[in-house]
């Protein structure tokens, strides 16, 4: 597969270049020049395959000769010792659970593939240092995905006292090649320190740096596979997927699956009150407002980084985009209502998942011959406090999580600024 950029259509890059550089130097984001199409019987042929095999089959078609099949199979086997779970809740309505990975959120799907791939590519380079700032969930996924991979060291910066205990333990409990540091300040300071490190000559002379950034296509492309997984198991009708969205990587992957030829009728772009995309689909105006804090914190994003990719996929044709994507914003009150409704169906959903459910119900009219699926992006225990408060009941805590929470706290010193990090890195 060959890649170009959203900014400069004459640019050409290989998959390896795309993964190692994350962003083109000339600006914009990488996108495929052309998306390969599947044969019509392909989705059904995947039906009984274990997830890791299904993923390597789908990625083989998408990436073409960028990665050989035996290598791709190895990467997927290592990345995916777990699988999505598709559950039927009502007639025509399913939930696609994407939180059965080690950190209980869907980011495991992208980050774990990327970690395996970087570990494969890094053999030919200087030892690789992953340096990343996190406001919570990404750090845990990165820590778990890169833990014990040879030749890679990971440094994660998080704002001290501003993340949940579970999130903190997911980063700090691993040890080995994973170094997680609290920072005396907020997430912005964490990001600023990381930026300074990337610009620092002394650090760069000694280490090859990568950020495991969410706009890297190595994180986005493998997310195509769980759409294929759901479709392979659903009845033969066309499907509508509701995707709880923040930076819109998840939805971009879904749109690519549709472009490959997987039978998807439409997508619901489900957001919380940070509703720039639903507003755009309504008015054609892309107007950035300051972000609003909501219950679904991982989707509190004012200006989604992947939206230019979606526009590029449609050649900037608004009308065609609007045929495929229904925009729907859900406020906190409706999110809570949806969580209570789901509980009546004996389903405990976290707030992000509830946004997707509510958006699906209100944006898609009752229709018979269509499968309606909403994506569950986090296990409810990841948002224990808000779920317990909304539902008025205690959640049962999975054994793994209990163990993590009762472990010995890390005693790492906190960083005050860039110099503290530099002393550690050089």
Ligand X SMILES: *Cc1c(COP(=O)(O)O)cnc(C)c1O
Quick check: helix, strand or coil at residue 246?
coil
Contact status, residue 175 vs residue 413, Cβ threshold 8 Å: no
As measured in angstroms, the least distance from the Cβ of 319 to ligand X is 23
Which backbone phi and psi does 124 adopt, to 5 degrees? -95, 10
234 vs 85, 144, 190, 258, CA distance in Å?
12, 31, 43, 15
Sequence-distant (6+) residues with CB within 8 A of 22 are 210, 211, 213, 215, 216
Gap between the Cα atoms of 307 and 240, Å rounded: 20
Q: For residues 250 and 384, which CB has a smaller minimum distance to ligand X in the complex? A: 250
Smallest distance from the beta carbon of 309 to ligand X, in angstroms? Answer: 11
In whole angstroms, how far apart are CA 194 and each of 73, 215, 401, 416, 418? 33, 16, 29, 13, 8
- Of the pair 146, 307, the CB lying nearest ligand X is at 307
Smaller CB separation from ligand X, 139 or 249: 249
Instruction: Give min distance, CB of 126 to ligand X, in A.
Output: 30
**DSSP symbol at 159:** E
**In angstroms, what is the minimal distance from the CB of 27 to ligand X?**
21
Give 387's contacts (C-beta < 8 A, 6+ positions apart): 339, 348, 350, 351, 380, 381, 395
Measured distance CA(18)–CA(14) in Å, rounded: 6
Q: Residue 106 CB, nearest distance to ligand X (Å)? A: 6
d(CA 262, CA 256) in angstroms, rounded, equals 9
Is residue 313 within 8 A of residue 217, CB to CB? The reply is: no
By beta-carbon proximity to ligand X, the closer residue of 171 and 298 is 298
Sign of CA dihedral 66, 72, 78, 83: positive
Nearer to ligand X, 73 or 271 (CB): 271
Q: How far is the CB of 137 from ligand X (least distance, A)?
A: 4
Least distance from C-beta 193 to ligand X, angstroms? 22
* Closest to ligand X by CB, 24 or 351: 351
Q: What angle do CA 119, 125, 126 make, to 5 degrees?
A: 100
> Cβ closer to ligand X: 3 or 106?
106
Nearer to ligand X, 178 or 243 (CB): 243
Q: Which residue lies nearer to ligand X by CB, 129 or 250?
A: 250
Angle formed by the axes of helices 384-391 and 332-344, nearest 10° = 70
Residues 183 and 271: their CA atoms lie apart, in Å, by 30
Minimum separation from the CB atom of position 276 to ligand X (A)? 12
CB of 249 to ligand X, least distance (A): 3
Nearest to 119 by CA among 157, 145, 83: 145
- Least distance from C-beta 294 to ligand X, angstroms? 12
Which residue in this structure is represented by tokens 């009219």? 365
Residue 132: name the closest of 67, 182, 191, 184 by CA: 191
Tokens describing residue 112: 């774990």
Instruction: Give the nearest distance from C-beta 150 to ligand X in angstroms.
Output: 28
Which of 373, 345, 344, 346 has its CA nearest to residue 357? Answer: 373
Interacting residues toward ligand X by CB under 6 A: 105, 107, 137, 244-250, 298-299, 352, 377-378
CB nearer to ligand X: pick between 255 and 378: 378
Nearer to ligand X, 52 or 135 (CB): 135
């Amino acid at each position: 597969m060959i890649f170009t950029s959203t900014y400069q259509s004459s640019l050409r890059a290989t998959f390896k270049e795309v993964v190692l550089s994350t962003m083109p130097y000339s600006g914009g984001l990488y996108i495929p020049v052309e998306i390969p199409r599947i044969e019509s019987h392909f989705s059904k042929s995947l039906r009984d395959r274990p997830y890791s095999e299904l993923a390597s089959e789908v990625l083989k078609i998408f990436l073409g000769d960028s990665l050989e099949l035996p290598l791709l199979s190895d990467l997927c086997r290592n990345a995916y010792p777990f699988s999505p779970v598709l559950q039927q809740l009502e007639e025509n309505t399913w939930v696609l659970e994407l939180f059965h990975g080690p950190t209980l959120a869907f980011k495991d799907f992208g980050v774990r593939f990327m970690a395996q791939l970087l570990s494969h590519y890094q053999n030919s380079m200087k030892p690789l240092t992953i340096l990343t700032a996190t406001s919570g969930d990404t750090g845990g996924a990165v820590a778990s995905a890169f833990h014990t991979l040879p030749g890679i060291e990971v440094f994660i910066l998080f704002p001290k006292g501003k993340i949940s205990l579970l999130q903190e333990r997911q980063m700090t409990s691993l040890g080995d090649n994973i170094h997680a540091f609290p920072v005396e300040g907020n997430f912005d300071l964490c990001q600023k320190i990381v930026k300074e490190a990337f610009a620092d000559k002394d650090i760069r002379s000694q280490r090859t740096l990568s950020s495991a950034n969410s706009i890297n296509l190595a994180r986005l492309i493998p997310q195509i596979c769980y759409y294929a997984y759901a479709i392979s198991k659903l009845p033969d009708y066309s499907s509508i997927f509701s995707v709880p969205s923040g930076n819109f990587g998840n939805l971009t992957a879904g749109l690519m699956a549709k472009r490959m030829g997987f039978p998807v009728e439409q997508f619901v772009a489900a957001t919380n009150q940070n509703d720039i995309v639903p507003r755009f689909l309504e008015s054609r105006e892309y107007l950035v407002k300051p972000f609003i804090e909501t219950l679904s914190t991982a989707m509190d994003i004012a200006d989604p980084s992947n939206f230019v990719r979606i526009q590029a996929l449609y050649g900037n044709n608004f009308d065609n985009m609007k045929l495929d994507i229904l925009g729907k914003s859900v406020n906190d009150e409706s999110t809570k209502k949806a969580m209570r409704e789901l509980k009546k169906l004996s389903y405990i959903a976290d707030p992000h998942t509830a946004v997707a459910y509510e958006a699906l119900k209100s944006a898609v009219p009752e229709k018979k011959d269509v499968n309606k699926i909403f994506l569950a992006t986090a296990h409810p225990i990841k948002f224990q406090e808000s779920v317990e408060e909304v539902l008025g009941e205690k959640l049962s805590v999975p054994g793994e999580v209990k163990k993590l929470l009762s472990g010995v706290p890390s005693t790492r010193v906190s960083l005050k600024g860039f110099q503290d990090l530099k002393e550690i890195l050089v």
